[in-house]
Structures are given as C-alpha cells and as structure tokens.
Structure 1
Amino acid sequence: MTVPIYPPKPRPGDRVAIVSPSAGLPEIYPMPYELGLRRLREDFRLVPVEYPATRRMGASPVERAADLHAAFGAPDIKAVIASVGGDDQITVLPHLDADLIKANPKPFFGYSDNTNLLTYIADLGIVAYHGGSVMCEFGRPGAMHSLTTVSLQAALFTSGEYELRESTVYGDVQRDWADPATFASPPATQACDGWRWHNADQVVEGLTWGGNLETLSWLMMADRGIRRPEAYDGMVLLIETSEALPSATEVYRILRSMGERGILGRFAGVLVGRAKAWSFERPNTPDEKAVYAKEQREAILRATTAYNPGALIVFDVDFGHTDPQVVIPVGGRVRADGHARRITVRY
C-alpha cells in the first residue's frame, strides 16, 4: 500500500505563500482578500507572502506556474495557500516542475479549480489539503465559522487523526464582495440535516482522491492527471460541486463517464460535499435548494449503483463550496466508519 508523504507543518510565526494559480481575483475584490490576510496574521499568527501574479487578473499560465515554483522552492516558506479558485488552472499544469515540487513538499491548501493542483500534488505522493482559500474561508464576512476555524487550525498546525464534525447549519447564499456592507456581519445560515450514509454496514479506510466534480471532468476530457484505473483500487473518492450549479443530469453523466473509463468502480467509498444550491444567476428559494440537492444525491446514487453498487457513500459532508467548511486531505488517509457514523482524517 502506498505510504503518502505528509509535508512538515508550519508553526506560528512562519511565512506562508499566498498564490493565485487560477484567477487573480484579489485585484478585483480586495476586501475579502485583505480580511483573509489579516486573519492569517492576527488569528493564525502566520506571515503571508504574496507573489507577482497573486493580485493580478490575466496572468499567464507560465507566470502562475512560476509563482508556484518560487513558493515551493523557497526554504523559508512553510505552506502554500490559494487566494481563491477560478476555471483555467488546467492550463498551468503543463508548466509545472514536478521534480521541484516533489523535492520541496509543503502543505498546499485550496479547493474548487485548485482540484487541478490538489490531484497533481497527490499524484506525486504528497498529501495536499482540500479547503481553506484566503478570500472565502479566511475572508468570511463578520467572523470565520467556528467549525471552519478549528479544522483549518488542525490541518495547518497539527499532524495525526482528526475526527470531522457534522454541522447543524449551513449557508450558500453569497453577498457582493464589492460592497463594504457585506463584511459588517456574518453570512446567513439555515438549519440542515447531518450526513447521509449509504451502504453504511461497513468500515472503509484508504487514501483520498478527487475534489470538485466539474474540474475532475475537465481533467478526464484533457486526459491530464488521470491514472490507470487500477491506481484507484481501494481509494476514497471526494466529489463536490460549485456555484456553477451543474444539473443532476450533468452530475450523472460525469460520473457515468468515470464509470465507463473504469475508474468509478475502483473506489471503496465516496464522500460527497454538501451541494451548493444558490448562485447570483440562480437565487433559488429554500424549497428549490432542497429539490436541487435531492436530485443531485439521486444522480450520484444512480451512477454508483450502476458502476460501484457496494461502495460506502456519505452525502452532505461539509467540504465543498458551502459554509462552514472542513478540510479534507487529498492523497491522505480517511476512515469512514458506517457502524459508528464517524469520519476520521489524518492531517
């Protein structure tokens, strides 16, 4: 069994790189970005270090790759954190120096389009961390959510087992990052159910792989960073969807393609992030959001029943585009105990 490399963790007072491998949104929306930097300094006692493309929209893939190389190669940088996501990080991957990154393993934090980097780093045998972007989690208006905070503190500073906690509330309604009033109070949340278990009469333990489902579909289409099917034997698949709000049909088709490629049936278990069901383009009502989430769960079950009927599945784990957010290692260990209804990760 593969033994993953867990990079050394930073300590309070250490320097951490802040990069924008996808979109340079800090240039357009400085308020959540500056708030996130301040919390990194004051609450987490880390020293953020920016790079040439961090606050610049339109930076080329080569320039963004150069920032990553500088961050991973610098001896005084102890972790690398993405400012935010985007939609074209796949164009950065061909310009990355795998030998440089592998020779300088560091914790990388990000999600959404950063699934490109998370899976790239994990394929090098190094554990990466799905979650914790500067503008979204660290820059949350009002205050960071306590569940997010304790998970990020554990993932950033500690090693060993960490038991994920279920949330009793969640939020997915955004406010305008350009409006100062947005940052006067925390975002609204609503009551929610906990995790939903399928095929729960088993315990699954293995290394994780995956992230944002739309990004995974792009990687499959480009045939980039996708290994032979047998490489995923016994692993635990992570999937979550973004503010693009893909339809249940699209979710099913992506997973069907993963099944036809011979990959979906290899996983021992699947962790599914709570579905984000609201966007500025589709401001769904609470009832409409519930229907959207239900249809997405049904689509996932339809695909897994066809290609991997015995897999343990846990729905509505808070590791995606909703708030709060827990950090999940990619390429690291997870244990899902269906009998005890517990999920434990190794940070």
Structure 2
Amino acid sequence: MVTPVYPPKPRPGDRIAVVSPSSGLPGILPLPFELGLERLRKEYGLEPVEYPTTRRMGSTPRERADDLHAAFADPDIKAVVASIGGDDQITVLPFLDRELIRANPKPFFGTSDNTNLLAFLRNTGIVGFHGATVMSELGRPGAMHPQTADSLRAALFTSGPYELSPAERWRDVSRDWADPATFDAEPETRPGTGWTWVNADRVVEGRSWGGCLEIVGWLLMADRETARDLSEYDGGVLFLETSEDMPSATEVFRTLRNMGERGLLRRFPALLMGRPRTWSFERPNSPEEGARYAAEQREAVLRALRDYAPDTLVVFDVDLGHTDPQFVVPYGGTILVDGTARRITVTY
C-alpha cells in the first residue's frame, strides 16, 4: 500500500476544477451552485473551471471519469472540487486511470458519495480532503458558516496543524434550494452542545480513513478501494458520519458489526463520529425526535465497539460530514486525537 502524500496547494488567482463525479445536480438547482462559484471567486480568489458533466444529469460513469482525468491532467488546474454528492460514484471507479492521477496529484475536496474518490486517492498515494462541496458549504444561504469558511481556507492554502473546535452554533434543517427566497438569509441555528468523549485517557495520532458510513459500507460490499492487508490501517484514526438518508440505528450497528467481523474496527485506536443529520425533507423531525435519533445512533456505535473494539477512543458529534458547520478533514492525512486535553488537530 502506498503511503499518501499531500499534493501541492493552490494559491489565490489559480484555476480550480469544479466537477460532478456523482450527480449533475447543478443543472437542476443552479442557485446554490452559482452562489458557491461566486464565493470561490470573491472570497477565496480562485477561478472555477467547469467540465462537460458538471451541470449534466445522467452522465455516464465513463464521461464523469473523463472529466476527472481532464482536471487532474491539466497543469493549469491546481485543485479539484466536487459540486455535490450523489449515490453512484462507485460506478466511476473502474474507469479511473490511477497512473494518470498519481502522476498529477492535486487536492480534491468532496463529501458524501465523494468518499469513493477520496478512498481511491488514498490508495493512489494522494491525501484528499473530506469537506466543502460547492453547493452545500460554499453555496450556504446568506453566508458560509465562519467555522466552515476558516477550515476550508486553511485546507486550501496552508500546510501544517489546524485545531478543530466544537461548533458555536449548528443546524441540520434545510430549506428548498429551488426557492430564491431561501438565499435571502442564513439558516436558523441552535447553540452548540460540544463533543462527547469516551475512553479519553490517551493520545492517538495516525493517518485517517473512513468518510460517509453508507458509502464505506458500499465500498466494502463491492470490495473496492479497501486494503487487502488490514495492517495498513493499524494505529490510524477512523472517522465516520451518516447522511441525510438517516440510516436507522440498526443499520448503523450492522454496518459497524460487519466491519468488526472483517477485523477493521480493532485496527483503529480512535474514532471520530460526525454529528448525525437528524432532519430531512422526507423525515422532518422535531428537535426532540432528532435528539432521540442521534442518541439511538450513538448507542448503536457504542454497542458495536463494545463487541469489537472496547478500548477505542471515541469522540461523538464532531462537526464533519453532513452537518453545518463542517470542518474539512484530511483523508489519508494525519489526525491527532488528544483525549487527555480534549483536543482534535488535523494536518492540512
């Protein structure tokens, strides 16, 4: 297994690719996409470059792979950012030219279904960045959450340690992206509740692996982009989070149980569990229902760990993944989890 290295960072003024390796949703919901592009230009000083499938729904896996190849091969493109997630990026993986991408390493930013490409990059020898899609984070109504904006700026332009901090305010209720009125004001937020630590009597530092739990499960089922020799993960930091599909506590437990049966869970002495999304348009939970869903998920995680990795250092409700604010997490890069000091530091 190749040890991933951090690719060169872009600078203000550089051109960056904006791609849709999963869904061409920008073609259907342009408002958050256009807002995200504008912020890339005005707030980060970067020039976004679109590709044939960026705004096109129904593109074939090969067409989406071709866009990725064009973005990575172009020497004038200094980073690659996903427009949004989706649910079939796993079908793109067989069409990717690993040697082409390995020869042209660039920072890639994406979450959710982009876990597929992040895992591919890790195995190719490139540290990726789990976070900051154009539509969800850069296209946030009203303004980017300041903690998201600061994390993205650091991940884009700097190298070295960056300390995460619990959300000062957070939200998981969304508004209709098709309605222009959605973008007139920032979404409503709630006061932060902090992180919850378990087995926090040690310090763990290691390379990260994980991402969206549902996608990790799909990769394992398809036997794609996971190490043949599980010792590759020894001493690492596992990070997981769940999507707006809101898998049940039973499903979360079963996925983690099966990871335990495969011998994966015990490889990681630390787990960062992202704050779960507890509201969706299909399941508009009340705050009380959402809190119950989150509590049930937490117990499902702890149940699996009790069976397969009882000594794991765990931090719950970390602000990563399908939540707001959203911190960028290096995928295959270094994370320090200091249980004694209750601190999490990532290396960008």
The TM-score normalised by the length of structure 1 is: 0.99
Take 2:278 and 2:327, find their aligned partners in 1: how far apart are those partners? 18
Deviates more, 1:188-197 or 1:155-164: 188-197
| Alignment correspondent of 1:160 | 160
Task: Return closer, same or farther for 1:180/1:113 CA change in 2, 3 Å cut-off.
Answer: same
Using the alignment, how far apart are the partners of 2:59 and 2:256 within structure 1? 32
How does 1:191-340 map onto structure 2 within 5 Å? 191-227=191-227, 228-340=229-341
Give the residue type in structure 1 aligned to 2:299.
E
- Mapped partners of 2:230, 2:169: distance in 1: 37
CA contact (8 A) 2:4 2:124 kept: no
Q: Which amino acid aligns with 1:169?
A: R
Partner Cα separation in structure 1 for residue 168 and residue 35 of structure 2:
26
> What displacement does 1:3 show?
4.9
| 8 Å CA contact retained: 1:229, 1:261 | no
Amino acid at match of 1:346: T
Displacement after TM superposition at 1:2 (Å): 7.2
2:88 is matched with which residue? 88
Structure 1 contact 109–130 (Cα < 8 Å) conserved: yes
1:87-121 residue CA offsets vs partner (Å, 9 max, x unmatched):
00000000000001111110000000000001110
Matched ranges for 1:67-82 at <5 A: 67-82=67-82
Report the secondary structure of 1:78's partner residue. strand
Deviation of residue 125 (structure 1)?
2.0
The residue aligned with 2:103 is: 103
Say if 1:316 and 1:26 are closer, same or farther in 2 by CA, change over 3 A.
same
Q: What SS class does the counterpart of residue 7 from structure 1 fall into?
A: coil
Whole-Å separation in 1 of the counterparts to 2:239 and 2:339? 17
Question: Offset of 1:309 from its aligned partner?
Answer: 0.8
Paired residue type of 2:89: Q
C-alpha distance in structure 2 between counterparts of 1:299 and 1:2, whole Å: 33
Does the 8 Å CA contact 2:22/2:84 hold for their aligned counterparts?
Answer: yes
Percent identity of paired positions between Structure 1 and Structure 2: 65
Q: Output the amino acid matched with 2:7.
A: P
Partner amino acid, structure 1, of 2:295 = K
Cα distance change, pair 40–333 in 1 and its aligned pair in 2 (3 A): same
Instruction: Indicate the RMSD between aligned Cα atoms, in angstroms.
Output: 1.0
Q: Is the Cα–Cα contact under 8 Å of residues 330 and 347 in structure 2 kept in the other structure? A: yes
Point out where structure 1 has 5 or more consecutive residues left out of the alignment.
Answer: none
- CA offsets, 1:199-241, max 9 Å, x none? 0000000000010000001011111111132221111111000
